Structure 1
Amino acid sequence: MGYKFSNIDKERVIFSLDIGTRTVIGLVGVCDEKGIFKIIASEIREHEERSMYDGQIHDINGVAKIVKEVKQSLESKIGKELDKVAIAAAGRALKTCRVRVDRDIDIGTEIDKTIIESLEMEAMQKAQELIETNKVIGESKYYCVGYTVVNYYLDDNFIENLEGHRGSKIGVDLLATFLPHVVVDSLYTVMNRVNLEVINITLEPIAAINVAIKKNLRLLNLALVDIGAGTSDIAITKDGTIVAYAMTSIAGDEITEQIAKTYLLDYDAAEKLKINLNKETKHKFTDIVGIEHELTSEEILDSIIETIENLAKEIAKRILEYNDKSPSAVFLIGGGSNIPRLPELIANFLGLPKERVVIRDTSSIENVEGIPEELNGPHAITPIGIAITAIQSKYKDFLEIIVNGKKVKLLNSKRVKVSDVLVLIGYNPRNLIPKRGDNFKCFINGKEKIIKGEIGEPAKIFVNRKPANLEYKLDNGDEIILKAATKGKKAVPRLYDLVNVNKCVFLNGEKMNLIKKVIVNGKSIDDNVIINENDEIVYDEIKTLFELLVEHNINTEENEIFINGNKVSGDCELKNNDEISVEIKKEKDAEKNSGHNTITLKINGEVKVISYEKDSFIFVDIFDYIDFDLSKPMGMLKLEVNGKKAELMQELKNGDIINIYWAK
């Protein structure tokens, strides 16, 4: 007699199928108002022929036949026709690709999330290209179902987090995982053949984790290993999500085959003996030539230990390869996980305490009732997980998203973000980052002047007409409007942007411009004209106090000089809006100065105003006005005028800069 469904139950019934390499497991259950999933019927059937290889359907008709048998058996048990099903794609069909992408950036721009996400998108697309390039001819395209960042780089140096930094080059080392379309397509074809509508599709590792590892444990770095008949599938979690998938082609069949070779048994007898190794301590069996054997489990395990060690070593090797270190713990599921000694050996190869590698069976599953005896084991984790995942998911297996008016379909193997859609459609991630306009170049007083272009506008993302970003989580039917980032304008400077013609000081309250005549391309310019590329600008500027005093014939010996209220005794650079005052230090002696000439010189850094009676003032005359002992040579005497070698009879001019010193 079948299960009696209430009207509410009919809406909450879940039919899940786990289509494995050797068996197909189906179960039907009902989720009550408290969220408890009650299993009301289950069925396990083995494939009659090799219709599946490593989790992928090869014989659609053969798989459809066994699925139909499971479906009909369950319908007879519950007294209700099943028309909807939850399924999972095999983790062993996943392909993983690790890539490194580097990008030059503007050193003046602070690295933000958009730049980082754009870099990650570029790496994901590169991984997709590599997967597509290396695929077998005739193979279908691949979905990207997840990725994890292994390392970031700033100017070729490892860095934990790029955000907030500045540099000229950024990079990312990324591990992306892909699922071939053919896996999903073949599953759908089988379901169509038996008149079942797929209400949810997930990945087997995700389904298993949903029930094998509690949510509060998923923040840890864990490895889940599903040891089946043909392959051992590995999923690695960190920060609450699966960050990597891996697979080894060594699994339970290797153990069965070694038992068959060691004791001359056919495959079915060897498989039965393997299964009983952890159930019984002694075993009696007859080999193919009629010899009877009576051995303990330990004796049999000792004889095949190398094969078990090899399986453990390969699993540990893959975990370390994709996790870069030993995880915090390892959970084993699948029929092959029951092989004695295997958990301890895996722990040994990973350098973990043996209690950190554990077998997860259905007894650890929460909020599930009515688990039948045939599902009491690690082999039933995945089919129950498929059902639980279907209950927890509000979304269908595929999302239909509209991007700039075009429809895109995505596999809903995880919460899909805007960035996932952009990767799928091949959107160039560099279009998300604003570009700086071209540089402008001109020459000022013979030196090259570069003005950087303006920064363009960043990309704008809208979901359902509201501002969003690359991390925005999408729902079925969402519409994305994407406006690419722009390139900034090239600078178009005017003369006064390059030359501060208003730079001035105030001398005794009177404004004095420091910028003198301005010439552009050989022509004197008074207006704020537009400067063109490669224009040559030349101008004179009074830069120092000495130059200003010479310009206005101010004698420092007879006057005291103050800048911004502070008395100065030597030369110094002038700043815009400096206030300079000149106060008479002593009265001029009109008679003394009558008929005299004066010259202002800067001698060894000191400004001097010298009075003389001759018609001209020559270099050698300086020694009459300075304290410099020529009678005690201290090296080679160096005489310079305006930075060049001086002649003793050289006539000096007002404003000349003199240096006299001993060179050793």
Structure 2
Amino acid sequence: MILEKDLIFSLDIGTRNIIGIVGEYTEDGKFNILAYSKRKHGRRNMYDGQIHNIEEVVKIVEEIKSELESKIGTSLKRVSIAAAGRSLKTCKIRIDKDIDSSLEIDRKTIEILELEAVQKAQEKINGENGNKLKYYSIGYSVMEYYLEDNIMNSLEGHKGNKIGVNLLATFLPQIVIEGLYSVISKSGLEVGHITLEPIAAINVAIKEELRLLNLALVDIGAGTSDIAITIDGNIMAYGMTSIAGDEITEALCKKYLLDFNQGEALKINLSKEEYQEFTNVVGMEYKLSTKEIVEDINEVLVKISLEIVEKILEYNGKPPAAIFLIGGSSQMPGLKEILADNIGLPKERVSIRDTSFIENVQGIDEELKGPDIITPIGIAIEGASEQYKNFLEIEFNGEDIRLFNTEMAKVSDLLVLTGYNPRKLMPKSGENFVYYLNGEKKSIMGSSGEVAKIYINEQIGDLNTPLKDGDVVNITEGIIGKKAEPKLFDCINREKNIKFNEEEINLIINVKVNGKKVYGNPKIMEEDSIEVEEIRSLLELLNYLNLDIGFEDILINRRKIENDVELNQGDEVSIKAKKNINLIINGDMKSIEYHKDKFVFVDIFDYIDFDLTSLKGKLVLKINGEDAEYLAELRDGDEIKIYWE
């Protein structure tokens, strides 16, 4: 007798059909299918992968359970199930945020940015649906990072004022899981394992070594075409188009005047026979080749393929390396060739995956060979492997949370599900301290706060820490930094020193706070007004020192100047060395002090009282009895004569 604990029971609850499979693993590690059952929905019990009429679905599941129990001779209690790919929501989102430009961007800052983007994507999906659903985060894939709006491969280690991320995030509405659990419970079963249909299908339809490639798996069913895109062994995005096999059936019905059931039967037979014979609702008989019929409905095949191509390119950005088709409607003759043409791939790179590609599975008969059986077998094998528990029970900040476990649940998934604000994880600087310097508003940043701490079972973790069943997660929020408490010297340059003829001079000559002169380094209060009296230019310095010296007699940093200049910290100002010349002028001895390189005749007039403003005859200039020019250079001891003749 077969024991129930050794059996693997799986259900694929689809929009049109429900398929149940029971199997077991043999000693040589192969999965052996012992029995299967397939039932159609009598009415529209499901829409786009979500159960609407729970009671009707329960009846069909009970029928399948009863039939399988009769075939294998034992009762069934635990079942593996899967959520439909069409119920997944994938959203492309970009967010930007301002950051402290003085700090290096670290891994934690990037993780919080990504978490904010995922939560923003969830808000966007809620907005589109017009409701507030809880979602399980299935995963996300970063497309680009941004620094100051420039695309970056990595942000870590950089500095800037603004960072951003563009990513694809995928979510599963909690209501879908609750509906599945309700059906299973009402059918007298319990869920042993739950997965996602695309994950189950990929694991059996595509060999493990091929999953590292950029591939697209398209499940073309009755109501929708569900798309999963893989890269580096993981599913990076999910998508769905709203036209699929039913559109083919309706096109056949319109073309040949058939009822829906006749059209459905003809569609299925197109992949089996080269010639078709049928009678329409008015009694007209048809004998046509499959090729002729496919040509008649070519327009709808092109439409289906174009929508699939559009969705693949939207999420992948380019054609994948290959496309694998599963699902009953993927068998439609000509569809895969049209799809290859429209996406620009060689025809051999778009192929239909049926059970002949599945390794290490036996017991597959003629009824189980189509691509529509891929997913049910995948669900069974996925459940048998028990790679991870379907739901994790997590305690988060004192509250019990049930977290859907896809491949590897992380702390960030928990925060998305609970709606935890990721900004609480960031350290916040204290308030800015505001004061006024010479009438201009200034501010000093508060101190940096402490980052939030994430504890998993009382051990420090982070957003990427994996979670397991029973984990206790607690987060202590980041601490806000303190407001600055500055003193005077934190607000001003207390010294601006230069050297004047080797003597050090502080150009800051007076400081007032709120109109009162202050000394030392007093504490400054919020909104205080500080006035700093400062010598800024050479002319201001000469006036301050009461010196009447021309710019031509001054050197700054050993260089000549011609005009007034601004003074800077560390400047060296020097006056050229003084020179003396002794002259006999109109019989009187006169000693003259000057700073120029040479002393010429015309310079005399700056040192004697001789009126040149009105002519009184011919001006006579003599040096040592000889006529002289205005610019003649004078030497010590020269006798000078100046008079009107």
Scaled by the length of structure 1, the TM-score of the pair is 0.78
State how far apart, in whole Å, the 2-side matches of 1:446 and 1:397 are: 65
The change in CA–CA distance for 1:289 and 1:548 in structure 2 (over 3 A counts) is closer
Which stretch has the larger CA shift, 30-39 or 187-196? 30-39
1:105 to 67, 78, 99: 99
Aligned: 1:235 with 2:232: no
Structure 1 residue 335 displacement after superposition: 0.8
Moved more, 480-489 or 265-274: 265-274
Q: Does 1:14 align with 2:8?
A: yes
1:527 to 520, 536, 548: 520
**Displacement of 1:212:** 1.9
Q: 1:184 aligns with which of 146, 171, 177?
A: 177
- Give the aligned CA root-mean-square deviation in angstroms: 4.0
Query: What one-letter code is carried by the residue in structure 1 that aligns with 2:184?
Result: M
Q: 2:301 aligns with which of 291, 297, 308?
A: 308
**How many Å separate the matches in 2 of 1:553 and 1:513?**
17
- For 2:48, give the aligned amino acid: D
Partner amino acid for 1:230?
Answer: G
Counterpart CA distance in 1 for 2:254 and 2:427 is 65
Output one character per residue of 1:539-580: Cα deviation in whole Å (capped at 9) or x when no partner. Answer: 4556788988995989999x99997xxx666699877678x7
Q: Whole-Å Cα distance in 1 between the matches of residues 97 and 382 of structure 2?
A: 39
2:616 alignment partner in structure 1: none
- Tell me the amino acid that sits aligned with residue 412 of structure 1: N
Whether the 8 Å CA contact 1:596–1:611 is kept in 2: the answer is no
> Do the aligned residues in 1 keep the contact of 2:119 with 2:419 (CA within 8 Å)?
yes
The aligned residue for residue 654 of structure 1 is none
Aligned to 1:37: 31
Q: Distance in 1 between matches of 2:17 and 2:378?
A: 16
Which amino acid is the alignment partner of residue 145 of structure 1?
I
1:439 aligns with 2:439: no
Q: Does 1:426 align with 2:413?
A: no
How much does 1:364 deviate?
A: 1.9
Equivalent in the alignment of 1:332: 325
Distance 2:101 2:498 in 1: 36
User: Which residue of the partner structure matches residue 354 of structure 1?
Assistant: 347
Residues 579 and 595 in structure 2, CA contact (< 8 A), matched pair in contact too: no
Instruction: Describe the superposition over 1:226-281 as per-residue Cα deviations: whole angstroms up to 9, x where unpaired.
Output: 11122211222234332332222222222223333433444444333322322222
Does the alignment pair 1:495 with 2:494?
Answer: no
CA contact (8 A) 2:580 2:591 kept: no
In the other structure, the counterpart of 2:639 is none
Change (3 A) 1:262 1:517: closer
User: Separation in 2 of the partners of 1:142 and 1:501?
Assistant: 59
Q: Does 1:412 align with 2:405?
A: yes
Q: Take 1:561 and 1:323, find their aligned partners in 2: how far apart are those partners? A: 69
Residue 187 of structure 2: aligned partner? 194
Q: 2:82 aligns with which of 84, 88, 96?
A: 88
Q: Please report how far the alpha carbon of residue 429 of structure 1 lies from its aligned counterpart in structure 2 after TM superposition.
A: 1.9
Distance 1:32 1:492, change over 3 A: farther
Post-superposition shift, 1:91? 1.6
Q: 2:450 aligns with which of 457, 466, 479?
A: 457
> Within 1, Cα distance between the matches of 2:211 and 2:429?
43
SS of match in other structure, 1:218: helix
In the alignment, what sits opposite 1:119? 113
Q: Alpha carbons of 1:589 and 1:497: their partners in 2 closer, same or farther (altered >3 Å)?
A: farther
User: Do 1:598 and 1:611's aligned partners in 2 also have CA atoms closer than 8 Å?
Assistant: no
The 10-residue stretch of structure 1 (164-173 or 270-279) with the greater mean CA deviation from structure 2 = 164-173
Aligned partner of residue 81 in structure 1, secondary structure: coil
1:64 to 58, 63, 74: 58
Is the 2:134–2:417 Cα contact (8 Å) retained in structure 1?
no
Partner SS for 1:336: helix
Select between 476-485 and 340-349 the one with higher mean Cα deviation: 476-485
Change (3 A) 1:320 1:561: closer
Residue 586 to residue 288, structure 1, CA distance change in 2 (3 Å): closer
Quote the residue 1:218 is aligned against. 211
Higher mean displacement: 45-54 or 11-20: 45-54
State the distance in 2 between where 1:290 and 1:540 align. Answer: 107
Higher mean alpha-carbon deviation, 226-235 vs 436-445, is at 436-445
| Aligned partner of residue 243 in structure 1, secondary structure | strand
Report Cα offsets for 1:85-139 as digits up to 9, x if no partner.
11011122233444443333334344333333333333333333343345467x9
2:73 matched residue in structure 1: 79
Q: 1:152 to 1:415 in 2, by over 3 A?
A: same
CA contact (8 A) 1:595 1:613 kept: no
Give distance in 2, aligned partners of 1:209 and 1:502: 72
Whole-Å Cα distance in 1 between the matches of residues 233 and 100 of structure 2? 34
Q: Distance in 1 between matches of 2:46 and 2:570?
A: 86
- 1:420-444: CA deviation from partner (whole Å, max 9, x where unpaired): 2112222222222223333333344
Distance 1:107 1:502, change over 3 A: closer
**How far is the alpha carbon of 1:384 from its aligned partner?**
1.5
Distance in 2 (alpha carbons) for counterparts of 1:80 and 1:21: 28
Partner Cα separation in structure 1 for residue 547 and residue 45 of structure 2: 105
Q: Which consecutive residues of structure 1, in runs of 5 or more, have no partner in the other structure? A: 602-609, 616-630, 632-664
* Distance in structure 2 (CA, Å) of the matches to 1:374 and 1:611: 125
CA contact (8 A) 1:204 1:386 kept: yes
Deviates more, 1:264-273 or 1:217-226: 264-273
Percent of aligned pairs with the same amino acid? 52
Report Cα offsets for 1:199-249 as digits up to 9, x if no partner.
211121121122222333334332211111222112222343323322222
SS in 2 for 1:401: strand
**Would the alpha carbon gap of residues 286 and 445 (structure 1) be closer, same or farther in structure 2, given more than 3 Å must change?**
closer
Q: Secondary structure at the match of 2:169?
A: strand
Distance in 1 (alpha carbons) for counterparts of 2:241 and 2:92: 17
Which of 47, 51, 62 pairs up with 1:53?
47
Paired residues in the alignment total 597
Structure 2: how far apart are the matches of 1:264 and 1:500? 92
**Counterpart Cα distance in 2 of 1:91 and 1:539:** 70
* 1:512 shift after superposition: 5.6
Question: Which residue number corresponds to residue 319 of structure 1?
Answer: 312
C-alpha displacement at 1:586, in angstroms?
8.2
Residue type at the aligned position of 2:484: A
What is the CA–CA distance in structure 1 between the aligned matches of 2:134 and 2:511, rounded to whole Å?
A: 66
Asked if the contact 2:395–2:471 (Cα under 8 Å) also holds between the matched residues in 1, the reply is: yes
2:624 aligns with none
Relative to the length of structure 2, the TM-score reads 0.80
**Residues 542 and 58 from structure 1, CA distance in 2 versus in 1: closer, same or farther, beyond 3 angstroms?**
closer
Distance 2:342 2:576 in 1: 92
Whether 2:371 is the aligned partner of 1:373: answer no
The 1:612/1:446 distance shift into structure 2, 3 A limit, reads farther
Offset at 1:161? 4.2
**Superposed displacement of residue 345, structure 1:** 0.6
Q: Residue by residue, what CA displacement relative to the aligned partner does 1:58-89 show, whole Å, maximum 9, x if unpaired?
A: 33232222222222332333333221111011
Q: How does 1:142-153 map to 2 (within 5 A)?
A: 142-153=135-146
User: Cα deviations across residues 362-403 of structure 1 (Å, max 9, x unaligned)?
Assistant: 222234344333222211111111123224444322212222
- Displacement of 1:336 in angstroms is 0.6
Q: Which amino acid aligns with 1:197?
A: E
Partners in 1 of 2:391 and 2:592 — Cα distance?
Answer: 98
How far the C-alpha of 1:343 sits from its partner, in A, is: 0.3
* AA at the equivalent of 2:348: E
Whichever of the two has the greater Rg, that structure is: 2
Deviations 1:607-656 (A, max 9, x none): xxx997589xxxxxxxxxxxxxxx9xxxxxxxxxxxxxxxxxxxxxxxxx
